[in-house]
Amino acid sequence: MVADTVTETDAGTRLLGEAIRGRFPVFERKVYVNSCSQGALSNEVRAAYEEYLAGWDEHGAEWEHWVERAEAARVAFAGLVCAQPDDVAIQTSVSAAVSALVSALDLSGERNRIVISENEFPAIGQIAHAQELRGAEVVQVAPEPEAYAAAIDERTALVCSTLVSYRTGAVHDVGAIHGLAREHGALMLVDGYQGIGAIPIDVRQAGDVLVGGTVKYLLASAGLAFMACRPGLVTELLPTQTGWFADENVFEMQIERYRPHRSARRFDAGTPPVPNIYAGVAGAGLIAEAGVLAIAQHVRTLVERLVAGVDELGGSLAAPALGPLACVRSTDAPALVTALAEEEIVASERDSSLRVSLHLYNTADDVDAVLAALERHRALLA
């Protein structure tokens, strides 16, 4: 479930809105409300890439330091989702992480069902259906717990739910869905990509496995993701998709046998994405500095302002906006995105909706700029 007991420092609560947006140069030119597609670039993330390049240039191969950076990322991600570092795997994408996870499942027997919702990101749905080649039965349901309850039984091996839908902005009740999975002995996978960094979440409560990455609310680049497991789960799973960084001792360079690491490192892969790790550590550091609970409270205020304004304009949302993403229904969403872009407002669209996503660097002025633009293009609201 979404964590509600996270404590933050008073210092962190000040690093929001106007207090932090100066670190993100895009706001000198744009109204940026598109964190659901890509987090804004910060000075810190740019400097992290420059640090990587400078070290490479000066020292050549810095493998000891590069491995240390990967471990720093593991620690940073663990801290954001209330996990232990040994329960966190580092991967290049959520697709790679989930593929490694399902490779550890025996789908050849009676417990071969995978349950997904209609709101899943394509990676989850496509990976689930790929397991049909291994004997899996895939069942797709509506995103409500009641629909999951009708599909989950003793045949179920894996239950998947997004935390925040990329299509509608809906926040799923992952705690309730996890309870259903646990009741029937199934594993629960939560795709937290559209929420981690803007919504407090505790992997110990939300599910058995939580995946996320750095492109969106963790403020870094593509090419870096992670998988966090509930305590005690790792030793129950033995992946067949692997890589040399998943070995018990990476630098022993042995090729005699499969020897997966005792920790979640068994779900790591090959050579880590070093440049992206530098950026990921910097981006996650900004989130930790501000505090996830403080960010969530800040974003909630902004989203409420946006929702009220859309309502006043006679518009509607694809789903209640309980997280950082609000999807405003449109008669022509691509045209609306283009119209806003011409006014220096960066947003995106999915499924006939304008997506407006708000984060720690956004302000009430950003929301008001979006609403003023929507009023000027009222004819494009559904």
Exposure letters 130-161 (e unless 16+ CB within 10 A, then b): ebeeeebebbbbebebebbbebbeebbbbbbb
Is 67's pLDDT higher than 90?
Answer: no
Domain assignments of the chain as residue spans, ordered by start: 10-42+291-380, 47-289
**Is residue 351 scored above 60 in pLDDT?**
yes
% pLDDT > 70, the chain: 96
Residue 4 pLDDT greater than 70, yes or no:
no
For residue 65, what pLDDT is reported?
86
Mean pLDDT across 327-336: 98
pLDDT value for 3:
54
Return the pLDDT at 251: 87
The predicted pLDDT at position 7 comes to 38
Given a contact cutoff of 8 angstroms between Cβ atoms, the answer to whether 288 and 80 are in contact is: yes
User: With bands split at pLDDT 50, 70 and 90, how would you rate the model's confidence at 62?
Assistant: confident
Higher-scoring residue by pLDDT: 214, 2 = 214
3-state secondary structure of 103: coil
For 268, the token pair is 């790591």
Contact (Cβ atoms closer than 8 angstroms) between residue 323 and residue 199: yes
Are both 10-42+291-380 and 47-289 of the same fold? no
Q: 373: part of which helix (H) or strand (E)?
A: helix 364-376
Full strand arrangement of the beta sheet holding 353-357: 325-329, 353-357, 348-350
Identify whether the C-beta of residue 306 lies closer than 8 Å to the C-beta of residue 347: no
Section 78-82 average pLDDT: 97
What is the predicted pLDDT for the residue at 314? 97
pLDDT tens, position by position, 256-277: 999 999 999 999 999 999 999 9
* Length of the chain (residues): 382
DSSP letter assigned to residue 374: H
Given a cut of 50, is residue 375 above it in pLDDT? yes
pLDDT exceeding 90 applies to what percent of the chain? Answer: 92
The tens digit of pLDDT for each residue in 229-250 reads: 999 999 999 999 999 999 999 8
The pLDDT-based confidence of 63 (bands split at 50, 70, 90) is confident
- How does the average pLDDT of the chain come out, rounded? 95
Which pLDDT band, with edges at 50, 70 and 90, does 66 fall under? Answer: confident
pLDDT tops 60 at residue 10? no
| Residue 107 contacts residue 131 (beta carbons within 8 Å) | yes
pLDDT of residue 2: 55
Coil, strand or helix: which one is 365?
helix
Single out the residue of 46, 298, 84, 93 nearest to residue 197, CA to CA. 298
| CA dist list (Å): 269 to 11, 127, 155 | 37, 17, 30
Question: Strands, DSSP E only, in the chain?
Answer: 31-32, 88-91, 113-117, 137-141, 156-162, 187-191, 209-213, 225-229, 325-329, 345-346, 348-350, 353-357
What's the average model confidence in pLDDT over 70-98? 97
Q: Cβ(20)–Cβ(360) under 8 Å?
A: yes
- Supply the pLDDT for residue 202: 96
Which of 8-17, 51-60, 358-367 is predicted least confidently?
8-17
Q: Which residue has the tokens 């407090």?
A: 200
Spatial contact of 305 and 367, defined as CB atoms under 8 Å apart: yes
pLDDT of residue 13: 47
Q: What is the pTM of this model?
A: 0.94
Tell me which CATH code domain 10-42+291-380 carries. Answer: 3.90.1150.10
User: Does the pLDDT of residue 349 top 50, yes or no?
Assistant: yes
Fold of 47-289: Aspartate Aminotransferase; domain 2 (3.40.640)
In whole angstroms, what is the distance from residue 346 CA to residue 348 CA? 7
| Cα–Cα distance, 100 to 227 (Å, whole number) | 10
Q: What integer pLDDT is reported at residue 61 of this predicted model?
A: 83
pLDDT tens readout for residues 178-201 = 999 999 999 999 999 999 999 999
Number of H helices, E strands in the chain: 13, 12
Burial class (CB in 10 A: 0-12, 13-18, 19+), 109: exposed
Residue 288 has pLDDT above 80, yes or no: yes
Coil, strand or helix at 81: coil
